Chains A and B, each alone.
Chain A
Amino acid sequence: MIKAEMDSFEVPLYFSRSRLSTSSNRTGNWSFIQPAYRDRTAPCSERCPCGTDIPRVESLAAEGKHGAAWATILMENPLPGVCGRVCYHPCEQACNRGEFDTPVAVHALERFLADQAQRARVPQDLKPKAANGKRAAVLGSGPAGLSAASFLARLGYACDVYETEAEPGGVLRWGIPAYRLPGAILAQEIEAIQALGVTLHCGAAMDESLAGSYDALLVACGHGQPQGLGVPGAELARDGLALLHAARSQGGGNGAAPGARVAVIGGGNTAIDVARTLLRQGLRPIIVYRRRREDMPAFAPELERALSEGAQLMELHAPVALAREAEGLRLTLQKMRSLDPGPDGRNPVAPLPDPPSTLLVAEVYSAVGAEPAPAWMQLMERTPRLRLARCSLAFRPTPVAFIGDLETETKSVSEAIASGKEAALALDTCFREGADAVVERLAACRIGAGSALSMELYLGGARARRSPRVVRFPELNRAYFQLSDRARPRALPALASIGSFAEVESGLKAAEAGLEAERCFSCGTCNGCDNCRTFCPDCAVLMEGGSRRIATEYCKGCGVCVEECPRSAMAMTMEDGRS
């Protein structure tokens, strides 16, 4: 049928319409509450000792902006390549996604981004402040010392880092085996810190007298003094830390006959690393620990890996004596039992009435802990200090900061980095505003309600506009998330990996990293998903110059955008601005 014929029926067509568009109807007049973009804090970044802006990192990574994502980590942490490998990633325990399926593999992504940047030689762009004429001496080039020097350099200080060893890195260089942290990765990140203007003095003598030539002194000497076993014959045991040191400087080699059984006493990460190093030297280590397996301070995945590589574990066995015999060392062990938790939350142990047993081994390695060298302990004892979360400060005559293992509760690389940052920000505040301003200034740089501090907040960056209120899982709109598998970095087969000190775990591929970054809920941080604009029934979310704005003249305050924001990055506000 032709159109003319259709038209010839002259069908009446009267309905309400107007040449004016609805833009003439200022529906915003109806509202008394309106939505606002209110970024909030993600639980992962609150838990990260370094206060890394993890949602921002992952959203940039998901967009393929690897360089910018890496720079976002560098803002808060000068050692992402190191932390991507050795950090115990408490962020992942706090990850809201853990309540949905499995946490985002933040550590694997951090490593991927750092490796990408190192491979591509992406220049760091940290915009250090102009030199302020002040000089700081840092004693020790471990993670705390490197971190403090890096942050101070960015704040305009001339930093000299003193190191007694021939090469910098401290525990990163000598304590963590190469199969977990290859030397080249560390070397590149140290180079980047030097590029900020930090000067390293290796093979140097260090003592407090250096304070006389500087405006500030930072003591980051770590726990280098091994603690003894405290049993008869303890002097027969070898030092686990020394074994790790030797393995890194000489690349292996051990006096014991290949295949010999050796004992490692201790339950911390050092004990695990000692055992895994011994495995790579062709020996058969038994880890002897006086408490239960679940009480070990060592990070569980490290222990599991050691066991899969062939180490054995004897839990609830305490060494009581060590004696030399013709065939080797006789280690006398007392079987223990676990008691109810004590005031520190840990389960103490007590001996069982059983008679002691003995273990005949070629060697015994002690890895029961370490403490600061006596000179530093004495200095700390006689200096009145202001205790902060991860460091302590003395202000007169020259400001001195004690950082790293000396002051952190949890002995870990990321805690040490956080400690160095805290000291740097505290000293800078002290110089700029006086010692009395330190506590308050640092409190303003906290991420969420935790103790992690942010350099970006200290510098007054965009992140400062974010509310410290942490987004919890029930506050997310999970309708927009789908179950997905967590990325699993590949690892060398357990038994093959003990043939050398080659790195056990390999990094994510770019495609895997992209998918993993997309798993991030971006809790509290707008990642441009555009749900607000899509669902606004009044088209009152406008896109202007790449960012979104609520057109208050049309927004009726229905709250759909806030409800449909998957990540709780919007809030309703009263006309007077109250939430």
Chain B
Amino acid sequence: MRQVLEGSQAVAFAVRLARAKVISAYPITPQTHIVEELAKFCADGSLDGRFICVESEHSAMATMIGAAAGGVRTFTASSSHGLAYMHEMLHWASAARLPIVMAEVNRALGPGWNLWLDQTDSLAQRDTGWIQLYCEDSQEAMDTTLQAYLLAETVNLPVMVVLDAFFLSHTFEPVDVPGQAAVDGFLPTFQPKFQLDPAAPCTLYPMAGPAVYMEMRQSLQAAMDRVPAVYARIQDDFAARFGRSYGVVEAFRCDDAEVVLVMAGTTASTCREMVQNLRAQGQRVGLLKLKLFRPFPAEAIHRCLKGVPKVAVVDRNNSAGAGGIFAQELKAALCNRQERPAIYSYVAGLGGRDITTGTLESIYWKTLEAAEPTQDSQWVDVHEELAKS
């Protein structure tokens, strides 16, 4: 059934359809609407789950870990400082091999205090062992959340579903909400591969010394390595049932492109329009939308970009001292390959600053006209005087 939903609601509806049993979160803008909606569902009985109020995000994730170890489907959501506060527990959740699903709404970290879109918060968690899936619109947020449970439970790794602050979390769009029976067919009842059970006491996660620790981390790495194949199969099944598919990356009019812009999130929608406009003027420009960030889909990216001369990565994030994070990842993924594009790195739209079709167009022209890429990221649409003051 098509309904007009806020991006936050789309996630909450999906969590209800997934029949999550334990939800715990600490409010933080712009994530709060998601868990507010779920608290309402728990209260009105439309979701047979328990909402556990906690005093911090650290405790919210600890609650997820406890509940998931108990063998039930779990959900939390966070953003920015809240996610940063969870950091320790994020490592624990993945190494504990618990299939927790979290919605993370990209928001800038302070100071200066800023509620708006910036991807640095989720990308700063790239080494925590969480699968990360980025979404472009409300429909994708809903579908990705449903898929996330099946993916997490298949590979025993936690999944972060990432949404842009406000542009996605607070925007209303028509969303096709699948029926419960259809979702139950796609996502069966969770059958944990291990769980705490008072009837059969055991210890999870006792001390692991040098003789075994490394193998545990290699096992985690191997599980990550399985993700692209597993996720592809899940998306196929989803497409067969619901008629929608996203891939781990999406190449949009890249075939004969001279320049391909690479990005994640809602900026991709703006970029689609820019690509159509420039294509109409005869420019050979394409878009590569990143959906899966962890594990990094190097093969899929290489497949899409190997014949492209120039790639412009648009990062709504920055790792101070190293530049745009998607660009770093892309360079690392392609540097040992024979056929590879020149990679141009642009940092734009931090802290909620708008990225318009004009911004993206200027990036295209700049890339097209450049003789060779700069080593550092180039900052776009900045007031140079302010930045230098």
Contact = CB atoms under 8 A, between A and B. Distances in A.
Contact of B234 (A1, A3, A17): A1
Contacts of B204: 15-17
A11 B233 contact: no
Interface in A74-129: none
Contacts of B186: 1
B226 A15 contact: no
A346 to B, nearest CB: 52
Interface of A: 1, 3, 5-6, 9, 11-23
B386 interface: no
A19 B202 CA distance: 5
A466 B136 CA distance: 65
A17 B156 contact: no
A14 B216 contact: yes
A13 B193 contact: yes
A9 to B, nearest CB: 5
Contacts of B223: 11-13
B358 to A, nearest CB: 43
B2 to A, nearest CB: 25
Given A12-B222, A15-B216, A5 B203 contact: no
Contacts of A14: 215-216, 219
Given A15-B205, A21-B201, 18 more contacts: A1-B233, A5-B233, A6-B153, A9-B154, A9-B226, A9-B229, A11-B222, A11-B230, A12-B218, A13-B156, A13-B194, A14-B215, A16-B204, A17-B202, A17-B204, A17-B206, A22-B203, A22-B206
A531 to B, nearest CB: 15
B237 A15 contact: no
Which 5 A-B pairs rank lowest in CB-CB distance, beginning with the nearest? A21-B201, A14-B219, A16-B208, A12-B219, A18-B203
Q: Which of A14, A15, A16, A21 has the most CB of B within 10 A?
A: A15
Contact of A9 (B203, B206, B230): B230
Interface string B157-199: 0000000000000000000000000000010100101100000
B52 to A, nearest CB: 13
A1 B97 contact: no
5 contacts: A11-B154, A11-B222, A16-B208, A20-B202, A21-B203
Contacts of A20: 202-203
B259 interface: no
Interface of B: 95-97, 150, 153-156, 186, 188, 191, 193-194, 201-208, 212, 215-216, 218-219, 222-223, 226, 229-230, 233-234, 237
Contacts of B208: 15-16
Contacts of B222: 11-12
A18 B206 contact: yes
Most buried by A among B154, B218, B237: B154
B202 A21 contact: yes
A16 B69 CA distance: 13
B352 to A, nearest CB: 37
Interface centre among A1, A5, A20, A23, by most chain B C-beta atoms within 10 angstroms, is A1
Contacts of B150: 1, 6
A15 B156 CA distance: 11
Contacts of A6: 150, 153-154
A13 B188 CA distance: 21
Given A1-B186, A3-B191, A17-B194, A23 B201 contact: yes
Nearest to B222: A12
Nearest to B153: A6
Contacts of A16: 204-208, 212, 216
B154 A15 contact: no
Contact of B202 (A3, A12, A18): A18
Tell me the interface secondary structure of chain A in the complex.
loop
A19 B150 CA distance: 28
Contacts of B218: 12
Nearest to A18: B203
A23 B205 CA distance: 14
A393 B197 CA distance: 68
Given A1-B186, A1-B234, A3-B188, A13 B202 contact: no
A11 B216 contact: no
Contacts of B155: 9, 11
A11 B215 contact: no
Contacts of B207: 16
B325 to A, nearest CB: 27
A15 B193 contact: no
Nearest to B203: A18
Contacts of B237: 1
Contacts of B203: 17-18, 20-22
A19 B203 CA distance: 6
A11 B156 contact: yes
Of listed A5, A12, A17, A22, residue having the most chain B CB within 10 A:
A12
A14 B217 CA distance: 8
A525 B98 CA distance: 42
Contact of A11 (B95, B191, B226): B226
Nearest to B154: A6
Contacts of B202: 17-21
Nearest to A6: B154
Contacts of A23: 201
Contacts of B215: 14
Contacts of A18: 202-203, 206
Nearest to B157: A11
Contacts of A12: 218-219, 222-223
A18 B237 CA distance: 36
Contacts of B226: 9, 11
A22 B234 CA distance: 38
A9 B229 CA distance: 9
A136 B154 CA distance: 86
Contact of A15 (B97, B153, B233): B97
Nearest to B186: A1
Contacts of A13: 97, 156, 193-194, 219, 223
B209 to A, nearest CB: 9
A21 B218 CA distance: 26
A25 to B, nearest CB: 8
A537 to B, nearest CB: 11
Contacts of B212: 16
Nearest to A22: B203
Nearest to A20: B203
A167 to B, nearest CB: 61
Contacts of A3: 188, 191
Contacts of A19: 202
Contacts of A11: 154-156, 222-223, 226, 230
A20 B201 CA distance: 7
A15 B95 CA distance: 7
A281 to B, nearest CB: 61
A6 B233 CA distance: 9
Nearest to B204: A17
Contacts of A1: 150, 154, 186, 233-234, 237
B293 to A, nearest CB: 20
A15 B96 contact: yes
Nearest to A21: B201
A22 B201 CA distance: 8
A332 to B, nearest CB: 71
A400 B382 CA distance: 99
B200 to A, nearest CB: 9
Nearest to A5: B233
Nearest to A10: B226
A9 B188 CA distance: 17
B301 to A, nearest CB: 22
Contacts of B191: 3
B237 to A, nearest CB: 5
